[in-house]
Structure 1
Amino acid sequence: MKRAFAHGKWPMIYVRTHWFALTAFCVLLVTGLLLFLPQVHTVLIPVLPLLLDLHITAGILLGLALLLPIVARLPKGKRVRRLDWIMTQVLLGAITLTGLALWLIALFPATWRGLAFTLHGDFAYIMAGWIVIHFAMRLFSIGTKARDSVITRRVDWSRRHFLRYSALGVLGSFVALAVGGRRPAETLLALGSKASKGSAIPSFPEYYTVTGSYPALKEQTYRLQIDGLVGKPLTLTLADLKAMPQERIARNFQCVTGWVVPNLMFTGVSLREVIRSVAPTSDAKYVTFFSADGVYTESLTMAQATVSDVLLLYAINGEPLPVQQGYPLRLFVPEMYGYKSIKWLNRIRFDATRVDGYWEQNGYPANAYIGGATGVL
């Protein structure tokens, strides 16, 4: 076992950088899984902003560690196994680029970001597997004899090799993103997403819920209550809402954690028109939204709620909302991250002061404009 962790007579800067990069990657892998997996998502909601900050910070630090070969040379006579060199630079170069596409969303097209989410995870899993293989090769002294293959043979460390293999990972990712980004939205690998069988609605990466289950709502008994500081309180059925002038808009759906499902057709009723119909009083400055799950709440300013493309949504790509997407009605705020688009909407209340929504109470910003400040790095 000692052999697997030995570094020989390497300068301390290389030893420390090696362990620093390995630690940063492990933090990336663990925080990424905790942010993504719905099985733990609900339990970790109070610390999700912290996990996202930690994930991004680890990614930045890992990227900086990978730049060591540009500013420092390997000591004379020290050689690196070719396979170690190729796998590390290609995979981590790809992980870095796809991570940047998810973080710096203003710099990358939505179709690229959708595919980047899938590739980012896939490259990370492959890298984790390679670390295990690398450990085993050191533990059992694989690749130390003269008869080793061209892959396990050791090569000289150089900036040229670093740039070549890092560029290969980055270029390969660019090609994958560009080619994938030209596919129709319904066949994009965004989140591994072909449309669900028999459905025109692409699969989203995961369907998160703050309670761990979905409300069981039926169209026949569904009611939307609208009250608070209004002159004309209303209770609407789904049929009432569908009888109102229909609005259809083509937009992307963007999650605060980076993934995006592009080019969806959203159908519903303009929230602005609904607001006009209930005649809010002059004291009504905020709109508070409630979910049928009894926990999830959200809020918008009156100005945000009356933007023309904010919808009370009941269909995507011409089909009724799936249960996990908020059936029978959800809010959709195109210019903000997905957590503002509350699901299973059953009440709208007009208030004089802001009531922090569920996610705001757990560290996320109220003004969650896409590409703007999100309360995370």
Structure 2
Amino acid sequence: MPELPEVEAARSAVAEHCIGKKIVKSIIADDSKVINGVSRSDFEAALLNKTIVAVHRKGKNMWLQLDSPPFPSFQFGMAGAVYIKGVAITKYKRSAVNDADEWPSKYSKFFIELNDGLEISFTDKRRFATVRLLDNPASVPPISALGPDALLEPMTEGEFIKSLSKKKIAIKPLLLDQSFISGIGNWVADEVLYQARIHPSQNASSLSKEEGAILLKSIKEVLEKAVEVGADSSQYPSNWIFHSREKKPGKAFVDGKKIDFITVRGRTSAYVPELQKLTGVQATEAPAKPPTAKRKPQGMNESQDANKSKRSRGGGKKATAESKSRESIDSDGSDDDVHENIDKKPTKAGTKKPQKQTKRKAK
């Protein structure tokens, strides 16, 4: 799932190759589930002959600043991705397009061609991303409701420790709360807690000043390293829990130490019991039980599974709508949704029509 490092890599790639260039062609998907609040024709017309002057990001949201408003913004959701055709070398792996690849993809929601021939596409196979056209994306939800960006607007040590002292909830869901700090998702939260040697269920207000300072330092170091390598996970340090957190229980280890999985406020969390121990009053309480159900496929978490079950009982449409409207302040936003819906219409007349597909569970 795209988290801050992945979205920052997309922003950096677009900024490097597109700033100063004019949009000469645009194709917006006929998909009201992803394209929010504007018709396809109005969106396309609003982009033509505009020049890209900057590319911004806050949390897991990105937007293009053009030479005049309105501006397109992208909320990446579960599977949103940016592709740039014609870019031979880039650290952002999702920007590479091979000659044999379908282009634009049938999952493309936003496509533009620039005056030098460069082509860019924002795709979303699972349709939980949101693409908007706004006069000032930063001034309205979801971006205006976000907490400080974990990379660009880090809290001071004093501010962070003071904020933790007021939060009587487990530290893992607090880190996922986008209104508290924006950009941290499930894998980053697991990583920073492991590096800080803090149990994901530890009450935030019970953390000592030293633990708070170490956690803040871990957030900075993990994000900076992930961004430095362009979100290329193969270049993440070998001692990161990231490399083993998707393995099956009993077979996951980091530095020779066993990784366990527990559910904390609806989210499956990977941690190392030998190093991440509950402290204080919580140390004497009953330990959190690990998930009893079979491990979910990669990319799925316990909260997602709960949403899926809820929808199967008849609460689906309402739950999905509420999830999308509250993405900026929920624990990890629309990343909690897992249903995979395939587009039924091509993005533009004349493009390759996708073959009929059936719904299937995410793997």
Q: After TM superposition, is the score higher than 0.5?
A: no
Higher helix residue share = 1
TM-score normalised by the chain length of structure 2: 0.24
Q: TM-score, normalised by structure 1?
A: 0.24
Answer 1 or 2: higher relative contact order, Cα 8 Å, separation at least 6: 2
**Computing the radius of gyration over CA atoms, which structure comes out larger, 1 or 2?**
1
